[in-house]
């Protein structure tokens, strides 16, 4: 499992070098072995005797953040989809993407996404899961915006990022609350504290935050609007992210926490309602689209809603149907996205209004589309896997129970299931017959269509063969895989048998026949009722609401930012000091941080008083001097005076550090002396002088108060005792400050030095550039 996560990332580091050979060998061939080898390993785990296992690697044990990996039926199914579909997508992309494309960028992004998805499904630690969760958002943003010269790609990438990252932050809030309630970061350990979580006062917040994360990622209503715009991505990306992997991450999250959340009635109410509404709305809107990938985008939304609704039902048969449909949907939808890409590649358009009559010109592609669309429609044929899971969906919708609101919802859901499935049938037939049957419109096509090369056909052929194989021998997949997945989700053993024929008396079959009959009528008379879209949704659009919100946010934030970002460094410093002043004093007042107790302090001696007076006079002198060298030297007096105070208070190590820092500072000032601005008397208004003086006095007073309060505040055991006791044992030195800087906080010191080094190099180069510019002028 660890190899599955990091192997793609390791290869991604070498892709920029491998892509230099793309003229002789396509970069995709270097990538293909990675997902394929992971798939081969995972397929060896499939079988009737499979049992979950875990691996743990220490990461940040002090915060209970370990790299814990867990492989059960659910993560195994998703791992197979990520690696299996990933292998087919990479193979497909070799023939889809021309060598003139930026292949290095594409495959780095793809491998990054693949690793992130493996991390999401294999992680047992909630913080590791969240880290990979956000990495999927970042990598999908890069993949969707791959053709960044297109405005639509940039818009779709930003839209997906904003919505999914909003959900990701909500997810983080829910996971943090879960760890607080359970005092563990392990998901499997949380499963043992179900009652604690359900009875917690924070349970409502946990439910809401985690649901937001899942709904945004899996394009559930009303957050579904990002998915159609994500179709601007290359077709291999759509086939991978938006059919089998990323959009199912939210499904995975709900399934993973189902044993806990399903104990609450609100889980059924919220998840089922959102899922069934998404199913109906997505299928209804799919018929309105004219772009092939647009149709598939809304069909994906509807299918995800169907899976989400079944998970919301929470019953054994519903959970079984949901995980079965996850597999089925990946096969037929992945093949259909690839078919859409082939049509676009070979005809130059995806506009269904310009297509038609392609069956004779592209017979293999048309055959693949037949199996894909009819399986998606749930047509009752024994060699189509989509029919089996749709029948189970109908069956599950008929056995829902509840009280009050849940009871009402249970009564409505079967009708909504039929409604959504009718339009699923309609858009499936619309997709196939509108593309491959009817009139051939040669003059409207940018290029003469022909069958795709065999390399581009291999991947969809394999997926369609899976559609047929699962349809013909579903029990083979059931006993070896689906049973284990459903057991992992439901948390109890599953023994469900899949068969095609249940007799004429079965209500699910009657529902399917109604779907086919009414769907066929709607397809036949589509021109008569398609005007309904002018009424619903009509002028209303969630996309318009999103655009308005983003536009207003940008407008008002720009107004606010331009209000204080006027190029004046003095204003910036003034605002920063005011913010620190208000934040610090406010925090101290709210937390009772003021502890001004001067009793337990050392007596002030004459030498100390003399040094302080000297420092105060030097500080005041910097205000009135107009000579740059004098100002630098006077400023040095303040620093050296502080070093003398450290000596008087018997802190030689601090005194030495201060002397070195002050000497380096004065030397740097003198080094850039020629580039310092001329000091001159400013003619400022009395109001400006008053504001500056007030800020300076208040900030100085605040630092004095903080210093005195920190000395008198004893909220925790002093950490100095730990350093004094362990400096020799851990660092091998009696100079405690040096041991802290070099050993105990060695990484902090290293990064501080690095930052200072980078800053010094930047300053040096700026000076060089300024000199060159002056020489040219």
pLDDT at position 545: 92
pLDDT at position 683: 75
Question: pLDDT-based confidence at 65, cuts 50/70/90?
Answer: confident
pLDDT at position 131: 93
Coil vs helix vs strand at 292: helix
DSSP letter assigned to residue 290: -
**Cβ contacts of residue 27 below 8 Å, gap of 6+?**
15, 18, 19, 21, 103, 104, 106, 107
Question: pLDDT-based confidence at 773, cuts 50/70/90?
Answer: low
Q: What is the pTM of this model?
A: 0.83
Q: Which residue, among 657, 625, 629, has the nearest Cα to 642 in the 3D structure?
A: 657
Q: Which residue, among 112, 223, 122, 127, has the nearest Cα to 166 in the 3D structure?
A: 223
pLDDT at position 169: 95
Q: Which residue, among 112, 181, 77, has the nearest Cα to 173 in the 3D structure?
A: 181
pLDDT at position 619: 86
Query: Which two three-digit tokens encode residue 102?
Result: 């930026």
pLDDT at position 418: 96
Least confident of 29-38, 209-218, 267-276, 683-692: 683-692
Least confident of 26-30, 365-369, 389-393, 709-713: 709-713
With contact defined as beta carbons under 8 Å apart, do 313 and 409 qualify?
A: no
C-alpha distances (whole Å) from 102 to each of 22, 28, 99, 455 are 10, 12, 8, 20
- What count of other Cβ atoms lies within 10 Å of the Cβ of residue 419? 17
* Mean pLDDT, residues 231-241 taken together: 92
CA neighbours closer than 13 Å in the CB half-sphere of residue 191: 15
CB-count burial class (<10 Å; 0-12, 13-18, 19+) for 130? buried
DSSP-H helix ranges across 348-404:
363-377, 385-397
- Angle subtended at Cα 476 by Cα 471 and Cα 481, rounded to the nearest 5 degrees: 105
Question: pLDDT-based confidence at 503, cuts 50/70/90?
Answer: low
- What count of other Cβ atoms lies within 10 Å of the Cβ of residue 19? 19
pLDDT at position 768: 80
**Cβ contacts of residue 683 below 8 Å, gap of 6+?**
none
**pLDDT greater than 70 at residue 772:** no
* Mean pLDDT, residues 94-98 taken together: 92
pLDDT at position 108: 95
Ramachandran assignment for 599, one of left (phi > 0), alpha (psi -120 to 50 degrees), beta (any other): alpha
pLDDT digits (tens, 9 = 90+) for 447-463: 889 999 999 999 999 99
Question: pLDDT-based confidence at 636, cuts 50/70/90?
Answer: confident
Give the H/E segment covering residue 54: strand 53-60
Coil vs helix vs strand at 679: coil
pLDDT at position 775: 56
Q: DSSP secondary structure string, 61-130?
A: GGGTEEEEEEE-HHHHHHHHHHHHHHHHHHHHHHHHS-TTS-HHHHHHHHHHHHHHHHHHHHB-BHHHHH
**pLDDT greater than 60 at residue 66:** yes
* Mean pLDDT, residues 660-674 taken together: 81
Question: pLDDT-based confidence at 724, cuts 50/70/90?
Answer: confident
Alpha-carbon gap, residue 317 to 310, rounded angstroms: 9
55-74 b/e (C-beta count within 10 Å ≥ 16 → b): eeeeeeeeebbbbbbbbbbb
Instruction: Name the pairing type of β-strands 65-71 and 53-60.
Output: antiparallel
Give the dihedral sign, CA 199/200/202/208: negative
C-alpha distances (whole Å) from 26 to each of 9, 11, 98 are 19, 15, 9
Q: DSSP secondary structure string, 690-747?
A: HHHHHHHHHHHHHHHHHHHHHHH--SS--THHHHHHHIIIIIS-S-HHHHIIIIITHH
What proportions of the chain, in percent to the nearest 5, are helix, strand and coil?
75, 5, 25
* Mean pLDDT, residues 666-675 taken together: 77
**pLDDT greater than 60 at residue 738:** yes
pLDDT at position 746: 80
With contact defined as beta carbons under 8 Å apart, do 122 and 132 qualify?
A: no
**pLDDT greater than 80 at residue 618:** yes
pLDDT at position 129: 94
| pLDDT-above-70 percentage for the chain | 97
**pLDDT greater than 80 at residue 378:** yes
CATH number corresponding to 570-714: 1.20.120
**pLDDT greater than 90 at residue 163:** yes
Backbone φ and ψ for 525, nearest 5 degrees, come out as: -115, 35
Alpha-carbon gap, residue 252 to 218, rounded angstroms: 9
Dihedral in degrees, nearest 10, Cα atoms 371, 373, 376, 381: -40
Q: Which residue, among 300, 208, 309, 301, has the nearest Cα to 542 in the 3D structure?
A: 301
**pLDDT greater than 90 at residue 776:** no
Coil vs helix vs strand at 627: coil
Give the H/E segment covering residue 58: strand 53-60
**pLDDT greater than 80 at residue 743:** yes
- What count of other Cβ atoms lies within 10 Å of the Cβ of residue 665? 14
Query: Which two three-digit tokens encode residue 143?
Result: 């993949």
pLDDT digits (tens, 9 = 90+) for 558-601: 888 888 887 788 888 889 999 999 999 888 888 887 777 766 66
With contact defined as beta carbons under 8 Å apart, do 292 and 352 qualify?
A: yes
- What count of other Cβ atoms lies within 10 Å of the Cβ of residue 241? 28
Alpha-carbon gap, residue 607 to 215, rounded angstroms: 69
Least confident of 248-262, 365-379, 625-639: 625-639
Residue ranges per domain, the chain? Answer: 1-261, 264-531, 570-714, 716-777
Residue whose entry in the numeric block shows the structure tokens 């563990």:
184
Say which residue, 316 or 685, is predicted with more confidence.
316
C-alpha distances (whole Å) from 281 to each of 274, 417, 641, 649 are 10, 11, 74, 75
Q: Which residue, among 19, 35, 56, 472, has the nearest Cα to 240 in the 3D structure?
A: 35
Query: Which two three-digit tokens encode residue 125?
Result: 């630690």
Question: pLDDT-based confidence at 707, cuts 50/70/90?
Answer: confident
pLDDT at position 502: 63
pLDDT at position 718: 77
**pLDDT greater than 60 at residue 1:** yes
Alpha-carbon gap, residue 33 to 91, rounded angstroms: 10
**pLDDT greater than 90 at residue 229:** yes
Q: Which residue, among 277, 275, 282, 283, has the nearest Cα to 305 in the 3D structure?
A: 275
**pLDDT greater than 90 at residue 548:** yes
**pLDDT greater than 70 at residue 152:** yes
């Amino acid at each position: 499992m660890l190899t599955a996560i990091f192997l793609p990332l390791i290869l991604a580091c070498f892709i920029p070098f491998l892509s230099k050979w793309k003229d002789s060998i396509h970069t995709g061939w270097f990538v293909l072995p990675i997902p394929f080898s992971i798939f081969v390993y995972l397929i060896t785990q499939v079988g009737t005797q499979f049992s979950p296992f875990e691996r743990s690697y220490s990461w940040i044990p002090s915060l209970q953040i370990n790299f814990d990996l867990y492989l059960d039926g659910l993560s195994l199914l998703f791992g197979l989809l990520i690696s299996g579909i990933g292998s087919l997508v990479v193979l497909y992309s070799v023939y889809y993407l021309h060598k003139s494309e930026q292949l290095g960028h594409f495959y780095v992004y793809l491998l990054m996404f693949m690793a992130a998805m493996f991390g999401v499904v294999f992680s047992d630690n909630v913080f590791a899961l969240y880290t990979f969760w956000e990495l999927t958002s970042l990598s999908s943003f890069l993949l969707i915006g791959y053709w960044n010269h297109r405005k639509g790609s940039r818009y779709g990438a930003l839209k997906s990022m904003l919505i999914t990252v909003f959900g990701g932050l909500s997810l983080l809030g829910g996971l943090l609350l879960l760890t607080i309630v359970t005092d563990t970061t392990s998901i499997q350990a949380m499963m043992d504290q179900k009652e604690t979580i359900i009875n917690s006062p924070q349970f409502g917040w946990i439910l809401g935050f985690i649901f937001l994360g899942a709904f945004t990622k899996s394009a559930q209503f009303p957050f579904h609007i990002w998915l159609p715009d994500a179709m601007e991505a290359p077709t291999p990306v759509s086939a991978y992210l938006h059919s089998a992997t990323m959009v199912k991450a939210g499904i995975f999250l709900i399934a993973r926490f189902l044993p806990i959340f399903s104990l609450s009635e609100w889980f059924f109410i919220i998840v089922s309602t959102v899922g069934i509404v998404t199913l109906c709305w997505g299928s209804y809107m799919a018929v309105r689209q004219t772009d092939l990938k647009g149709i598939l985008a809304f069909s994906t939304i509807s299918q995800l809603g169907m899976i989400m609704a079944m998970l919301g039902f929470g019953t054994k048969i519903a959970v079984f149907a949901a995980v079965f449909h996850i597999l089925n949907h990946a096969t037929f939808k992945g093949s259909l996205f690839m078919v859409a890409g082939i049509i676009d590649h070979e005809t130059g358009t995806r506009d269904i209004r310009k297509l038609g009559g392609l069956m004779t010109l592209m017979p293999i592609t048309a055959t693949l589309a037949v199996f894909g669309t009819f399986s998606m429609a749930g047509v009752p044929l024994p060699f189509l896997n989509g029919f089996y899971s749709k029948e189970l969906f109908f069956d599950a919708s008929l056995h829902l129970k509840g009280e009050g609101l849940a009871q009402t919802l249970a009564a409505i859901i079967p009708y909504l299931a039929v409604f959504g499935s009718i339009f699923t049938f309609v858009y499936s037939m619309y997709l196939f017959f509108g593309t491959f049957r009817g009139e051939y419109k040669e003059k409207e096509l940018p290029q003469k269509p022909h069958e795709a090369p065999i390399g581009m056909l291999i991947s969809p052929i394999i997926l369609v063969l899976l559609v047929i194989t699962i349809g013909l021998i579903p029990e083979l997949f059931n006993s070896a895989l689906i049973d284990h997945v459903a057991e992992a989700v439901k948390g109890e053993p599953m023994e469900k048998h899949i068969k095609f024929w249940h007799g004429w008396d079965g209500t699910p079959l009657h529902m399917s026949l109604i779907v086919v009959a009414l769907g066929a009528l709607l397809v036949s008379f589509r021109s008569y009722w398609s005007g309904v879209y002018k009424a619903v949704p009509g002028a209303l659009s969630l996309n318009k609401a999103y655009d308005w919100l983003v536009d207003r946010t940008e407008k008002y934030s720009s107004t606010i930012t331009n209000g204080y970002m006027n190029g004046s460094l003095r204003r910036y410093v003034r605002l920063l000091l005011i913010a620190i002043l208000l934040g610090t004093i406010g925090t101290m007042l709210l937390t009772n941080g003021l502890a001004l107790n001067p009793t337990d302090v050392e007596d002030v001696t004459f030498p100390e008083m003399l040094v302080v007076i000297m420092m105060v006079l030097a500080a005041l002198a910097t205000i009135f001097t107009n000579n740059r060298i004098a100002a630098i030297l006077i400023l040095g007096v303040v620093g050296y005076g502080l070093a003398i105070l450290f000596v008087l208070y018997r802190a030689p190590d601090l005194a030495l550090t201060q002397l070195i820092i002050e000497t380096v500072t004065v030397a740097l000032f003198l080094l850039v002396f020629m580039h310092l601005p001329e000091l001159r008397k400013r003619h400022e208004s009395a109001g400006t002088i008053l504001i500056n003086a007030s800020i300076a006095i208040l900030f100085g007073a605040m630092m004095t108060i903080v210093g005195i309060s920190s000395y008198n505040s004893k909220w925790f055991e002093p950490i100095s005792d730990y350093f004094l006791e362990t400096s020799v044992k851990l660092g091998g030195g009696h100079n405690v400050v040096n041991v802290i800087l070099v050993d105990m906080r060695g990484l902090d010191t290293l990064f501080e030095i690095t930052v200072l080094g980078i800053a010094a190099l930047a300053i040096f180069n700026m000076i060089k550039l300024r000199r060159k510019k002056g020489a040219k002028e």
